[in-house]
Amino acid sequence: MYCYIHLLRDEGDFKACSMYFLQLMENETFKFEEQICDFEEDLASSPIPEDVRDAIHAAIGKAKLLMAQKLAQFRGLCDKNIVSHENLIPELNPN
C-alpha cells in the first residue's frame, strides 16, 4: 500500500496510512539492527585499521541513536495519529 496524503478519501485512510508507516519503520529498524550486528561481528573478527574502526563505531552509535530517539519519536506520532482518529470516528473504535 502506498500512502499519499492528498489521495486520502476518508478518515479511515489516515489509520491505514499510519499503520503503513509503522510497518515501514519496523522493517527499516530491523535492517538497521542486522547491519549493526554485521558491523560489530566484523569489528570483532577482522583486522581493521584503527581509523576505520573508529568510523565504524561512530556509524554504529549514530544508527543506535537514530533508532532510540528519532524513530521512537516517529512511532509515537503514528500511534498518536491512530488513536486520535479512532477517537474522532466511533466506527473505527470497536469498544
User: What is the spatial distance between Cα 28 and Cα 26, in angstroms, rounded to a whole number?
Assistant: 6
On the CB side of 27, how many CA atoms lie within 13 Å of its CA? 6
Question: Residue 11: its pLDDT value, please?
Answer: 53
- In this prediction, residue 85 carries a pLDDT of 62
User: What are the boundaries of each domain within the chain?
Assistant: 24-88
Residue 43 · residue 58 · CB < 8 Å: no
The pTM for the full model equals 0.66
Which residues of the chain are under the pLDDT cut of 70?
1-15, 85-95
